[in-house]
Amino acid sequence: MAFNNLDEFIQFLKKKRELKVIDTEVDPNLEITEIVDRVVKSGGPALLFTNVKGSDIPLAINLFGTKQRMAWALGVENLDEIGERLSEMFNVKVPESILGKIAMMPKLMEIAKFPPKVVKKAPCQEVVIGSKDIDLYKLPITTSWPKDGGQYILFGQVVTKDPDTGLRNMGLYRLQVLDKNTTAMHWQRHKGGAAHFRKAKEKGMKRLEVAVVVGSDPATMYSTSAPLPESIEEYLFSGFLRKEPVELVKCKTVDLEVPAESEIVLEGYVDTEEELRLEGPFGDHTGFYSLADYYPAFHATAITMRKKPVFVSTVVGQPIMEDDWMGFATERIFLPLAKLVLPELIDYHMPFEGIFHNLVFASIDKQYPGHAFKVMNGLWGLGQMMFAKVIVVVDKDVNVQNTSEAWWYALNNIDPQRDVIFTKGPADVLDHSSQHFSFGTKMGIDGTRKWQDEGFTRPWPDKIVMSDEIKKLVDSKWKSYGF
| Identity of residue 348 | Y
Closer residue to ligand FMN (CB): 22 or 167: 167
- CA 286 – CA 427 distance, rounded (Å): 13
Local structure of 68: helix, strand or coil = helix
Residue 286 CB, nearest distance to ligand FMN (Å)? 12
Residue 156 CB, nearest distance to ligand FMN (Å)? 8
324 is catalytic: no
Residue 163 CB, nearest distance to ligand FMN (Å)? 15
DSSP letter string, 211-262: EEEES--HHHHHHTTS---TTS-HHHHHHHHHTSPPEEEE-SSSS-EEETT-
Site for ligand FMN, rule CB under 6 A: 154, 169, 171-174, 186-188, 191-193, 225-227, 314, 316, 323, 326, 384
Q: Which of 7, 284, 428, 431 is catalytic?
A: 284
Residue 64 CB, nearest distance to ligand FMN (Å)? 9
Closer residue to ligand FMN (CB): 65 or 444: 65
DSSP letter string, 379-405: HHTSGGGGG-SEEEEEETTS-TTSHHH
Closer residue to ligand FMN (CB): 286 or 413: 286
Length of the chain: 483
Closer residue to ligand FMN (CB): 185 or 303: 185
**Residue with the shortest CB distance to ligand FMN:** 171
Residue 431 CB, nearest distance to ligand FMN (Å)? 13
C-alpha 471 chain-centroid distance:
43
- CA 73 – CA 129 distance, rounded (Å): 30
Alpha-carbon torsion angle 26, 28, 33, 34, nearest 10: -40
- CA 153 – CA 214 distance, rounded (Å): 8
Give the strand pairing for 175-179 and 182-184.
antiparallel
Asked if 332 and 81 count as a contact pair (C-beta separation under 8 A), the reply is: no
Closer residue to ligand FMN (CB): 7 or 323: 323
- The residues annotated as belonging to the active site are 284
